[in-house]
Chain A
Amino acid sequence: GEDVEQSLFLSVREGDSSVINCTYTDSSSTYLYWYKQEPGAGLQLLTYIFSNMDMKQDQRLTVLLNKKDKHLSLRIADTQTGDSAIYFCAENNQAGTALIFGKGTTLSVSS
């Protein structure tokens, strides 16, 4: 069935780059998404990539998509303490009517 897998934790130092990885199962997903959740808050859409793209850059964020391996990554350049949060990878379900989320990667940034 549909499934999205992510590593659970990532710890980096301020100023370093962070790379959060995700694998998904549904190759028919048109878009793939990255959401961010700060403590005590709901989810916020960070960025998304169309399935026929390999890369998308948006300021400090770079999304890489390897459709053959069904692998998605989110790179955050010059990571700041304010980037500490949980990051979720998501794809559409097969019906296209809901999002399937990974369990989330907790990013911890130390100064």
Chain B
Amino acid sequence: KAGVTQTPRYLIKTRGQQVTLSCSPISGHRSVSWYQQTPGQGLQFLFEYFSETQRNKGNFPGRFSGRQFSNSRSEMNVSTLELGDSALYLCASSPTGETGELFFGEGSRLTVL
């Protein structure tokens, strides 16, 4: 079974630009969560989607948004990028999202210059 796939793996943007990251969950998994990982703040929850609906959102500004498609693939978007948005963005999938047993992708490393 293929794992969680995130694209792109690495990207460099400049302040003020916007970025879209993609996540393909494990086949059959309907829940997709996104986490931001930085050296200072560690892993922080962004949002979780199940069957195209956002069920939960972390404490991030409105510049961070996401969506999920009918095939469970998910995208997250960050608009008006700031230097502090530089991070590893991790996507995780699970069958229902009702437990903490998450399957993580390798992440998308975003650098904002």
Contacts and interface: CB of A to CB of B under 8 A. Distances in A.
Contacts of B103: 45
Interface in A37-59: 40-45, 48
Interface in B39-92: 42-43, 45, 48, 55-56, 58, 90, 92
Interface residues of A, number: 24
B97 interface: yes
B46 to A, nearest CB: 9
Contacts, number: 51
A44 B92 CA distance: 10
Nearest to B47: A98
A101 interface: yes
B4 to A, nearest CB: 7
Q: Which of the four size classes fits the interface of chain B? A: 20 to 34
A77 interface: no
Contacts of B45: 93, 98-100
A99 B42 contact: no
A88 B43 contact: yes
Interface string A67-111: 000000000000000000000101111011111111110000000
Interface string A29-40: 001010000001
Given A31-B99, A95-B56, A42 B43 contact: no
10 contacts: A31-B100, A42-B4, A42-B105, A42-B107, A43-B102, A96-B98, A97-B48, A98-B33, A99-B102, A103-B42
Interface of A: 31, 33, 40-45, 48, 88, 90-93, 95-104
